[in-house]
Structure 1
Amino acid sequence: MTVVTWLGCDLVTGRIVEELPDLAPSGTIGALLGAYTSATFRLPIPRAGHGAAPRDWVAATEPGRSMIVAVLAGQPVWAGIVLVREGGTEATLSLACVTLEGYLDRRYVGDHTWTGQDEASVIAAGLAGDATSIEGIGLAVDAPATGTLRDRTYLATDDKTVYSALRELMGVQGGPEWTIALGWTDATQTAVSKTLRVRSRIGYPSTTPTAVFTTGTASAVLSAVGSSDARYTYREDYSSGSGANHVMATSSGEGETRPQSAPARADSLFGAGWPRYEHRYSPSSSITVQATLDAHAASALGILAFGARILTIVGRADAYPVLGTDWGVGDDIGYDLVGHRHIDGLTGVARAIGWDLDPLAGTVAPILLTPGQDVIS
C-alpha cells in the first residue's frame, strides 16, 4: 500500500486541482540538491464504474500547466511538472514529469556583469530573476547574502540556461548551494508553495543528528527513536569518472586557445606510491578566467582523489526518521548499521544530498555525501 498522497496542482498558483488516489509511479521518485530529476506515472481513467477517474483529471494533469505533488506524512515532499500526457484506446493514461528545478532549464540568462558581488543575494538571485520575474511558475526566491563576493559575466547570446548557470555557480569551490523547497501556502493546505532557496549550505549540519537510520540490531552508538528497519550496501569505486588524482578543468576552444586550469594534484597519494590517474572535464562552455577553472579543478580533485565510497541505505518511509518531517535534502543524518560486511557495526553521520522514494514499496533511500565528495558530483 502506498504511503503517499498524490495531488494534481496548478503549476503557477500551487492550488490543488484534484486528488489522484489511483496514480501510480513507474518506479521511484527522487530529489537531488541543485539538480532536477524525472519520473513517469500511470493514471487509470475508466469512463465509469468502480475506480472511475477523478472528475477534474484533465485539468490536474495538463502538460506544461500542472504539477504532480507527493505528500508524505502531511508534508509536500516532491513536485513534478507534467510534460507529456499520453492515452488513447486503453483506460490508462501515462504521464512524464520533471521536478521543478527542470523549469530553470527552460529559461535563459540575460546580460549581466557582476564585479565583487555577493554570490547568493546578488548573483544567484539575479540569475533566478531571469526565470521568475516575468511569466514564471510562481517561484519565490530566498537568497540572503553569504558574504562571499565573486565576479561573473553572462551574455544573453551565450544561450546559457538559468539552471546551467546556477549549477556552474554551485560547482565552483565553496559555491552557494540551492534547492527548491515545498510547503503549504497557509494552514488550509489547499495550495503548495514553491521556494528557490540559496545558502552557503542547504540543510542542517550536526554531529549528533536526531534522524538516525538503523538496521534494528546495531550497537546503538547513536540514539534512535523507532526503527527504520534499514538495509544497506557499501561500495568502493576507483573506476573512470569515480577516481582520479590528477585533474584538469577545461572550457571552450581548441589547441592553445582553449582555456584550461593548472593540474590539481593529490600529492600525498603520489608520495605514498600511487600511479597517476588523470581526469579532464569541462564544468562550463564559457569560462575564460583560469582562476575559475583552477577552482573547479580543485573541487573535482576533492571528489575524485580517494575514489567513491558509496553507502546506500533503504528504510521504511512511514517510520522514523520520516522524510520531510525529521530530515530533508542537505541535512546531516545518522546511521547505525550491522551487516556481514560490518559485523561490529557501521555507525556515523553523513549528509543527505538527495533521496529516492518508492511509494509502492513504502521505502525511502537517502542519497548520502561521503567525506571528500562534493554536492555537484
Structure 2
Amino acid sequence: MQSTFLEARKADMLDLLEKLVNIDSGTFYKAGVDRVGQVLASAFQALGFQVVVDRQSERGDHLIIVHPEAMHPSILIIGHLDTVFPVGTARSRPFSYDESFAYGPGVYDMKASLVMSLFAIQSLIEAGDESFKRIKIILNSDEEHGSIYSRELIKRESAGIKFALIIEPSDMTGKLITGRRGGGKFELHVTGRAAHSGEEPEKGRSAIGELAHKIIQLHGLTDPHAGVHVNVGVVSGGTTSNTIAAHANASIDVRMETPDQAIELERKIKHICSTATIEGTTLVLEGGITRQPMIKNANSEHLLNIVQEEAMQLGESLTDKKVGSGSDGNLTAAIGIATIDALGPRGGNAHTADEFLVIESLIPRTILLANLVKRLSLE
C-alpha cells in the first residue's frame, strides 16, 4: 500500500524537492535556511504535527517536530536544512532532472532526505498506522558547519530516545554508516605589530610569520596511521606586501578515531598555540572538539540488524561502513543512543557542482524509513 501511495505522489515529491533545491540555504545565509524551514514546517503542520521553532539570531532557526498526541517519543529522526553553497548558486544552476538523476545545489545532501522524511510520515498517516506518534524530528540549520549551535538542542531533545535515525544521504551502493571519525574546528588569531618592511622592518612583528610557525607545528600532529589529521584549511592576514602584517588568522579542521585521541589532540593544539615563537606576537585560540567519534557498538549493531531485516523485506541487501566525515550521528552515538546513519536516498558528488540524486532510490528509501518507524515503535 505504501508503495502504491508513494508512486502516486512521486510527482509531488519531485515538486517539493525542486522547491527546496531552488532556495539558497548555505549555512550562513539565515534568510534562505529559514525559508527552507518554513516550507517544511508548513508541510508538517498540514499533517497535524506541531512545529517548535528554536530561533537563532545569526544562524537559521532549528525545528523540532512532534505530533501533539505523542507520548514519550522513542525514535529521533535528524536532518539538516543547510547546504554548503553560496547565495546565487540556485539561480545559476537550478533544479533539473532526467530519467535517472536529479541535479542542483543540495539535491543529494540533503534536500531529498527532507522530502523523504515528510512523505514517509504521510504514508504512515494514510495507512492509519499511528507509529508516527512515537517519533520526534529535529531539522537543524548548521550541520554543515559542525552543528555548533544545535548540538545542545540535539542533546537536550534526545532525553528518553532509544533510536536515532540520521537521514544523511547514502552513497551509490546504498551502504549505511555505523562509524564516523570525530572532528573539531579551531580558529587561531595572531596579533603582531605593523611596520614598513623597507624603512623600519625591525619595528615590526609579523603575525603571518608567527602563523607560519604554528601551521607547521599543527600539521605535524597529523598521524595517518592512527587516523589523526590536522588541516589548516583557510588562512588570512596582512594588508600590503610592503607592510609587516599586524594580524593573521587560520581556520583549523581536525579528525580523529577515538575519544582518547580527541582529548590528546585538543591538549596538543592548545599547547602549541599557547606560546608565540616570534617575540612580540600574541595568539588567541578559539573552538574545540565539536564531534566525538561515532563508534559501532552493541546498540548500533542491534539497530543495524533491524534496518537490514526491513531492507531485505523490500528486496535490498544493505551493508554498513565507517567513514571519515562527521554528522549529527556523532552526537547521538556519543550519548549512548543506538544510531544508524545514511538512511537517505542514493547519489553522489556532495558539496560540488556535479551533485546528483538517484531518483529511483527516493521512494524505496521513503518506504524503508516508514517501515523502520513502524518496527522501532514496537521495540
Q: Under TM normalisation by the shorter chain, which class is it? A: under 0.3
TM-score, length of structure 1 as denominator length: 0.25
- Answer 1 or 2: which has greater helix percent: 2
Question: Greater strand percent: which structure?
Answer: 1
